[in-house]
Structure 1
Amino acid sequence: MSTPKTMANTSGEFGRITRFFKPLAAGFAGARGLRDDAAVFGVPEGRELVVTTDAMVAGVHFFPDDAPGDIAAKLMRSNLSDLAAMGAEPLAYTLVTALPRGLPDSWLEAFAAGLGADQQQFGIALAGGDSVSTTGPVTLSVTAFGLVPAGRALPRWGGRPGDRVFVTGTIGDAALGLEIAYGRLDLPDEEASGHLLRRLRRPDPRTGIGPRLIGLAGGALDVSDGLVADLGHLCEESGCAALLQAEAVPLSDAARGAIDGDPARLALAITGGDDYELLFSAPESARDALAALSAAGGVAITEIGSLLPGEAGTVTVLDGTGAALPLTRRGWDHF
């Protein structure tokens, strides 16, 4: 994403870059003002670089008529959530936009404004990227860079039998919000509907919690595919199984009202995905430290189960009576 020095940059690709994206790179020296073919930056001594990439496609990850600011927020925050799951602090990101030729500048202006707002909130800046046209749907990709103490990045494979399983925030809001967006769930409480839709469109990456889990968490990842599926991923990499207590899964008041005792909606909440909360294992001895971290960070950290010996990746979900909860799906799978 570079702008030639000799061009006026008032229209077309380079004009858009100058107008909408160059201001987003002003806070990061390594971006070199988006005047070169690549960013240049170093890593402080004693730190390592954590890199993650997520792509989003209209009609798959967001509705084509969603507000551009909401699209920007979800794109940015899904990547920030990956950094948090590794214990990394945000540093910079690159952006690739593949946009239809007829997309108006007003869309891009609102999209860039959404990115700018999140940059300020989460302390990250644009380092570069690429901009292309497409005959297909809007397609967007961010590669985010974070910093973590050398050798201390949180792995998925650090869970051990006997560890407790914890999750931040609340689960199921986004999945239930998607049902509202599709018109398959109608809640009389407009405030509750608004909360669920906001959590779908603007997740809350736990960037303040993730780095503080270093030294406390064993295995960690974020909940994107669904709580059950992602716990299964942690167990697969850690070589163990898990028990998940469905009654312990934290739900917002809005989600609890939407579920209203319906087992199918509860199953949707714990398998639907797009929560972007942190899911991790930790030894029982870490409970007090996690409670203190929760209080200091203002984010709930809830114990929801345990890891145990067994077939790697197996997750058994128990209901309030201790019986296995039958699930027709574990989570989202692109293929």
Structure 2
Amino acid sequence: MSREASIIAALRGLADTPAARGLADDAAVIEIGGEALVLTHDAMVEGVHWLPGQDLADVAWKLVAANLSDLAAKGAEPIGVLLGFMLGAEDERFVTGLGEVLHEYLVPLLGGDTVAGGPPRTFGLTAVGRATHRPVPDRRGARAGDTLWLTGPVGAAMLGFEALRDGTAADSAAFRRPRPLLSEGRALAPLVSAMMDVSDGLLLDARRLADASGVTLAIDTAAVPISAPGDRRAEALRWGDDYQLLFTLPVHWKPPIPAHQIGEARPFAGSSLLINGTAPAPDDSLGYQH
């Protein structure tokens, strides 16, 4: 078990309210007065989530987008965000990028906190949304017989990171400024049996969905659309940061948006994931883990 998985397992003992969903979902869901509030929090660390010297306007955009992607996976409509900001160089560029992404998605800044510290610098953001469908989609709802779908290709963020790191002229926008699929999430919410966003790698996140649902997800990698060259398919399946939506539907149902069927859910059979019919090796991390 990774250090990240170990601490999450320990924290589950403290998260004993139904709103926490057993810390096995993208966000918490709080039922209040006939509404369901959806809350999520992500943090980003210099040198881990962005390159040292990267434009902080892009960092601000990605911080907000990653949180909004979690709301998208719940079919939620954003209400606002709270920012945890560490002071440092180029603060004005961060504020510029923050304004751009909040304007793009019509999301208000509600408050937050500023601190001094680092290096490295760390930023955190909490996003609050309103569920547009009840029950709110969950990672725990996939059932044997369901089909497994992905909204779009993976691998673009990997190529964008490499372009930015290497200073080439290739397009790096997918890594710098991902776009959360909010409208797609709202369209899918009434239909899916389970849904999550793909942030740490398709294979790793598929295993998380399977573990939460108690099923085996069988993935046909040839059916997965990728934005990378064919000889880099294995990397693209594990790299992450593409923020596509991964979801299951009852058999014979079709999604109301463009999406790709990449596999199916089966009764649990010893491994929560099958890749082209084979369980992954125990030492295969499948994606990004801290």
Aligned match for 1:59, one of 47, 57, 60: 47
TM-score normalized by the length of structure 2: 0.83
Aligned match for 1:202, one of 171, 177, 185: 177
CA distance in 2, matches of 1:123, 1:152: 25
Aligned match for 2:36, one of 33, 48, 71: 48
- Cα pair distance change 1:86/1:181, threshold 3 Å: same
Q: What is the CA distance between 1:200 and its match in structure 2?
A: 0.9
CA distance in 2, matches of 1:246, 1:303: 11
Q: What is the CA distance between 1:172 and its match in structure 2?
A: 1.3
Aligned match for 1:127, one of 110, 117, 121: 110
CA distance in 2, matches of 1:309, 1:173: 32
Q: Is residue 2:80 matched to residue 1:92?
A: yes
Residue 142 of structure 1 is matched in structure 2 by 125
SS of residue in 1 equivalent to 2:204: helix
Aligned match for 2:264, one of 286, 306, 309: 306
Q: Is residue 2:240 matched to residue 1:273?
A: yes
Q: What is the CA distance between 1:149 and its match in structure 2?
A: 4.2
Say whether the 8 Å CA contact 1:89–1:148 is kept in structure 2.
yes
Q: Which whole-Å deviations, capped at 9, do the CAs of 1:110-129 have from their partners, x for residues lacking one?
A: 21121111112212110000
Q: What is the CA distance between 1:284 and its match in structure 2?
A: 2.3
Residue 236 of structure 1 is matched in structure 2 by 211
CA distance in 1, matches of 2:237, 2:95: 33
- Cα pair distance change 1:325/1:131, threshold 3 Å: closer
Q: Is residue 2:281 matched to residue 1:330?
A: no
Percent identity between the two aligned chains: 38
SS of residue in 2 equivalent to 1:284: coil
CA distance in 1, matches of 2:183, 2:207: 25
Q: Is residue 2:196 matched to residue 1:221?
A: yes
* Comparing 309-318 and 68-77, the one that deviates more: 309-318
CA distance in 1, matches of 2:98, 2:82: 12
TM-score normalized by the length of structure 1: 0.72
SS of residue in 1 equivalent to 2:71: helix
SS of residue in 2 equivalent to 1:64: coil
Q: CA RMSD in A?
A: 2.3
Say whether the 8 Å CA contact 1:236–1:313 is kept in structure 2.
no
SS of residue in 1 equivalent to 2:38: strand
Q: Is residue 2:229 matched to residue 1:249?
A: no
| Rg larger in structure | 1
Say whether the 8 Å CA contact 2:150–2:262 is kept in structure 1.
yes
* Comparing 203-212 and 146-155, the one that deviates more: 146-155
Q: What is the CA distance between 1:182 and its match in structure 2?
A: 3.9
Residue 23 of structure 1 is matched in structure 2 by none
CA distance in 2, matches of 1:64, 1:312: 42
Q: What is the CA distance between 1:174 and its match in structure 2?
A: 1.1
Q: Is residue 2:157 matched to residue 1:170?
A: no
Say whether the 8 Å CA contact 2:77–2:131 is kept in structure 1.
yes
Q: What is the CA distance between 1:201 and its match in structure 2?
A: 1.1
Q: What is the CA distance between 1:285 and its match in structure 2?
A: 2.9
SS of residue in 2 equivalent to 1:285: coil
Q: How many residues align?
A: 259
Say whether the 8 Å CA contact 1:91–1:123 is kept in structure 2.
no
CA distance in 2, matches of 1:274, 1:56: 12
Q: Which whole-Å deviations, capped at 9, do the CAs of 1:290-313 have from their partners, x for residues lacking one?
A: 1xx32xxxxx31111111012476
